[in-house]
Chain A
Amino acid sequence: KAGVTQTPRYLIKTRGQQVTLSCSPISGHRSVSWYQQTPGQGLQFLFEYFSETQRNKGNFPGRFSGRQFSNSRSEMNVSTLELGDSALYLCASSLGQGGKTQYFGPGTRLLVL
């Protein structure tokens, strides 16, 4: 089975712009979670989508949003980028039932200038 894929792998934006990141889960997985990882804060949970619905949400401002499509692919959007949004954004997929195992993609490295 192919693993979790994320595009793009690297991205450079300037403050005030918006960005959209994409994630394709493992085939058959219906849950996609997004995380922000920075050196100082570790892995911070953004949100989880299951069957096109946001099921869990972390403590991030409304500038961070996401959606999931009927094929389980997910996108994450960040509007009005700030310097502090520079991070590695990780997507993880799981079957979605009962909190079993979660598999990560390689991440998208976002740099905001």
Chain B
Amino acid sequence: GQQLNQSPQSMFIQEGEDVSMNCTSSSIFNTWLWYKQDPGEGPVLLIALYKAGELTSNGRLTAQFGITRKDSFLNISASIPSDVGIYFCATANTGNQFYFGTGTSLTVIP
């Protein structure tokens, strides 16, 4: 199956710091999605990107769809304790098959 390389695997940061994580693929996609998952719950959609070069914000979160259509990044500014969780990137092909990264575990130290 399709492989998405997501990095870093885990991050430990101080409250108030900015965070950056990214995802790359070997194939071109038309959609990039970013999800956050809390323990024992389903992933929640944070940002959806549908166009190369697109830059979209959702509060303190900003994500970009890479111009090569093979990568995307997610930034979180001024992190707070409730940002703790696992962040997943995902892509989709036109056949509605979704692929997920391995996740970035974020720990925010108060």
Contacts and interface: CB of A to CB of B under 8 A. Distances in A.
Given A50-B96, A56-B95, A90 B42 contact: yes
Interface string B16-57: 000000000000001101010000111111001010000000
Does more than half of chain A's interface fall in helix, strand or loop, or is it mixed? strand
A90 B86 CA distance: 15
Interface size range of chain B in the complex = 20 to 34
Given A98-B94, A98-B96, A42 B40 contact: no
A48 B43 CA distance: 17
Interface in A75-113: 88, 90, 92, 94, 96-107, 109
Nearest to A43: B100
A45 interface: yes
Nearest to A97: B96
Most buried by A among B1, B41, B42: B42
B45 to A, nearest CB: 6
B1 A101 contact: no
Contacts of A70: none
